[in-house]
Amino acid sequence: MANAMQIATRLYECRDAARNILGGRYAEKMREYGEAVRSVADEKHCGELEAGKMLAEAAGDGMTAILVLAATVEIIESPAP
């Protein structure tokens, strides 16, 4: 099992990859995927990290999984309202 540092590193790699690939569309896509992560978190009564993990696993190893994990990082790092 990966330790917390390895998991954090992987999440940040996903975010960096998404930023590089999406460029100017990054913020828009993060809002879109962030809404999906929050929706699953609400529906499953879990935290955003767990919801992001569920969505990424369901998406498989493709670009969608990377975008979901990038959005999860953005949610976790955003200041609470």
**41: domain range?**
4-73
Asked if residue 79 is part of any domain, the answer here is no
Q: Mind listing the pLDDT tens digit for each residue in 32-43? A: 999 999 999 999
Asked if residue 81 is part of any domain, the answer here is no
Asked if residue 33 is part of any domain, the answer here is yes
Phi, psi of 74 (to 5 degrees): -60, -40
Asked if residue 26 is part of any domain, the answer here is yes
Average pLDDT, the chain: 92
Asked if residue 52 is part of any domain, the answer here is yes
Give pLDDT, residue 79: 73
User: Which residue has tokens 């969505």?
Assistant: 55
Give pLDDT, residue 6: 86
Q: Say which amino acid occupies 66.
A: I
Q: Say which amino acid occupies 17.
A: A
- Do 29 and 53 meet the contact criterion of CB atoms below 8 Å apart? no
Mean predicted confidence (pLDDT) in 41-47: 96
Q: Mind listing the pLDDT tens digit for each residue in 48-64? A: 999 999 999 999 989 99
Q: How many domains does one find in the chain?
A: 1
